Structure 1
């Protein structure tokens, strides 16, 4: 369902991001290990940095998943209107 304000109310497929992050985490750890064992410290460091970036992204995804339906609503919850900074009640 398109409402015309998707960039503001877009929902991220967090479960898919979690599994892709896990896949990236495994490959980054594998790359770090292999490059360290074959004596390529530059590539091992690059994979290590990638490992840390993926780990931080994964932590954020898990945090958002645990925050509940605001970040991961089900199919039965319609898109919510964004807060335009109006007066609070």
Structure 2
């Protein structure tokens, strides 16, 4: 008899952190913005509001943070499909 099922595939069954790092870098680069590993590593295990706060504080702009996040998500979603 099945007693438990794990649905958390983000980092538990599939290593998505490497894809995420690549997507953050690619998304920022496409916008002409530098983003380094130290900043990206602050995102790991954080909620989206936390990540947005980190980005806004670092870049000093909600619009810049939002643009980087949106492009990163688009790139990451495409990577996950393949």
Q: Which category of TM-score, normalised to the shorter sequence, fits these structures?
A: 0.3 to 0.5
TM-score (norm 1): 0.34
| Structure possessing the higher radius of gyration over alpha carbons | 1
